[in-house]
Amino acid sequence: MYNRGIRGATTVTRNDEQEILDETLRLMKEIADRNDINPEDICSIWITLTHDLDAAFPAKAIRQLEGWELVPLMCSMEVPVKGSLPRCIRLMVTVNTDKGQAEINHVYLNEAKKLRPDLAAPKA
């Protein structure tokens, strides 16, 4: 078994608590579905937000999922680089898996698809 990182990112249209929570949840569910993982497989999840998002802790959304209450979550602010993608939420999900690096499905939604167009489309 290996310890692998699964990247994901999404954007919101405004600094709104409910939108931040909804998009975080959507992103986390996509990562779990595309990689066939469950909470017991997860070592931890690192969540970052750009500095223009301060209306909510995205971890709150994940903690409310049934069975996810014990998954270690940490929120942080993204490095404020000029010209970077605004209103962006990023996840780094560290999992235990038998999959190789090439089998991992990273997930980029909304405007975050611009960050890694090579990884944005789901694998067939």
Give the domain ranges of the chain.
2-115
Q: Is the CB of residue 88 less than 8 Å from the CB of residue 60?
A: no
What was the pLDDT predicted at 1? 86
Q: Which residues does the annotation place in the binding site for prephenate?
A: 7, 90, 108
Q: Which residue is catalytic, options 78, 87, 103, 111?
A: 78
Q: Which CATH architecture has domain 2-115?
A: 2-Layer Sandwich (3.30)
Q: What is the pTM of this model?
A: 0.93
Q: What is the mean pLDDT of the chain?
A: 94
Residue 107: partners with Cβ closer than 8 Å, 6 or more residues away? 6, 7, 8, 9, 27, 30, 31, 34, 122
Give 11-35 pLDDT, tens digit per residue: 999 999 999 999 999 999 999 999 9
Residue 108 designated active-site: yes
Residue 26 designated active-site: no
Q: Which residue is catalytic, options 7, 17, 19, 26?
A: 7
Tokens of 6: 């699964």
Residue 40 designated active-site: no
Query: Average of pLDDT values for 96-103?
Result: 94
Residue 78 designated active-site: yes
What was the pLDDT predicted at 118? 83
- Strand partners for 7: 92
SS3 label, residue 60 = helix
Residue 75 designated active-site: yes
Residue 4 designated active-site: no
Q: Which residues does the annotation place in the binding site?
A: 7, 90, 108
